[in-house]
Amino acid sequence: MARTLAQINAVTSMNLRSMPQRLWTSLSTVVAVALVTGVLLAFLAMSNGFRTTVRGTGSPDVAIFMRKGGGGELNSIITREQVLLIEEAKGIATAADGKPLMSAEMYAVVDGIKRSSGTKANLPLRGVGPNAVGVRRGIRIAAGRMFRTGTPELVVGRAVSKQFKGFELGRTVRLASQNWTVVGEFDAGGSVFESEIWADIALLQGLYQRGSTVQTVRARMENTNALKGLIDYSEADPRLKLDVRAESDFYATQSRGISDLILYMGWPLAIAMSFGALAGALNTMYASVDARMREIATMRAIGFGGLPAFVGTMTESLLLSAVGGVIGALATFVLFDGISAATLGSNFTQVVFSLKLTPELVLQGVILALVIGFAGGVFPAWRAARVPLLAAFRDQ
């Protein structure tokens, strides 16, 4: 046993020391594996970033009321009468003024110009009242101030001012046939709300001729258990019959479709590319075995076993792919981690998110790299282990 280990050690180190002679071939495998890992990780980071942003939106103790069957905020309609009925429900927390802590909100879509491409994209314009910040957690005016009720002022999420043109503090923008002044920028902990524009609801209802209807009502519950009561309350009243869900749950459902779609694109692509890289790795390793044929045969002739030759080749392959995987992961981290992207979310509006690489994702990338290394090493290693002794005596 110890002798075998010593042999493996000797052959493997000989193997690795001869790698510089095959510098370019070895490098091509490293780079090919790095590219595959990079593509996979870019997709995983995209999917994860989108999911993190959308999932991170909403609290479990906020109930969101929408019309049934609408699916999103945009298609929902709630009348003034229904809003008043919701105010009567039990289980809603009380605001400082003694009234229920809830926010009836209007939701519309306006055009923004993306900085990256200069093209138009749908931005959510949310009409809110005084309780909008209070109902949610973690909304903070990061610059400027909140808009004043009844004035054409608006505040924008951080992602909006970062990704779209013309929303800098103090600028005037024309939205919904009205000139607005951007007076504040808010931070919402990286959630979807940061991709939104907020303005006074009464003003918007007028502009959009919506009367007193709203799209959604958010209510802070006394605790998460109150949700059941609110659902029952809504079902019991034929005038309501609204869809009531925890806000966190609502966003979690929304995140799934698109982040899954990104995953379903990323994995097959990465796997297909892996086969390409695998072909390269196999060529490299076969070339490596061919180049060392005489050397291996000589070792065999003087009494070394087949196993050390196998392990030596395997180690070389795994090492090359591991290096490739790590380089791919590092490159993805440097190039893509934290960069912003935006796509059409399920509400038909843009969701700005950051690509996010996590250790688990990096691990998946490196595992893929090692699988390539293993598959690319095992057959050539098998050949190495079975090199005929005669090869030692052949010329060239």
Residues that bind other proteins (CB under 8 A): 24-25, 28, 31-32, 35-36, 38-39, 42, 69-71, 74-75, 77, 108-111, 116-117, 119-122, 175-177, 208-209, 269, 272-273, 275-277, 279-280, 282-284, 286-287, 341-344, 348, 350
For other proteins, give the closer residue by CB, 101 or 355. 355
Nearest distance, CB of residue 257 and other proteins, angstroms: 10
Which stretches of 21-144 are DSSP H helices?
Answer: 23-55, 80-87, 132-135
For other proteins, give the closer residue by CB, 178 or 224. 178
Nearest distance, CB of residue 219 and other proteins, angstroms: 23
- E-state strands within 295-376: 340-344, 350-354
Is residue 7 within 8 Å of 304, Cβ to Cβ? Answer: yes
For other proteins, give the closer residue by CB, 277 or 311. 277
In a 3-state reduction of DSSP, which class is residue 353? strand
For other proteins, give the closer residue by CB, 136 or 292. 292
Nearest distance, CB of residue 22 and other proteins, angstroms: 9
Give dist(CA 243, CA 73) in Å, integer: 11
Nearest distance, CB of residue 76 and other proteins, angstroms: 9
Which stretches of 171-305 are DSSP H helices?
Answer: 201-207, 226-236, 247-291, 293-301
Nearest distance, CB of residue 230 and other proteins, angstroms: 22
For other proteins, give the closer residue by CB, 5 or 339. 339
For other proteins, give the closer residue by CB, 266 or 308. 266
Nearest distance, CB of residue 36 and other proteins, angstroms: 7
Distances (CA, A) of 316 to 116, 140, 195, 381: 43, 54, 48, 10
Residue type, 204: L
> Residue 375 CB: number of other CB atoms within 10 A?
16
Q: Is the dihedral of CA 244, 249, 252, 257 positive or negative?
A: negative
Is residue 86 within 8 Å of 101, Cβ to Cβ? Answer: no
Bridge-based pairing of strands 197-200 and 120-128 is: parallel
Nearest distance, CB of residue 282 and other proteins, angstroms: 5
Altogether, the residues listed in the chain come to a count of 396
Give dist(CA 64, CA 193) in Å, integer: 15
Residue type, 167: F
Residue type, 180: W
For other proteins, give the closer residue by CB, 120 or 394. 120
In a 3-state reduction of DSSP, which class is residue 318? helix
Nearest distance, CB of residue 295 and other proteins, angstroms: 17
Nearest distance, CB of residue 95 and other proteins, angstroms: 31
For other proteins, give the closer residue by CB, 87 or 237. 237
Closest CA to 357 of 30, 32, 37: 37
Q: Which residues contact 67 (CB under 8 A, 6 or more apart)?
A: 75, 76, 77, 78, 242, 243
Nearest distance, CB of residue 104 and other proteins, angstroms: 18
- In the numeric block, which tokens belong to residue 117? 């491409």
For other proteins, give the closer residue by CB, 72 or 134. 72
Closest CA to 192 of 231, 136, 233, 149: 136
In degrees rounded to 5, what are phi and psi of residue 178?
-150, 140
For other proteins, give the closer residue by CB, 130 or 276. 276
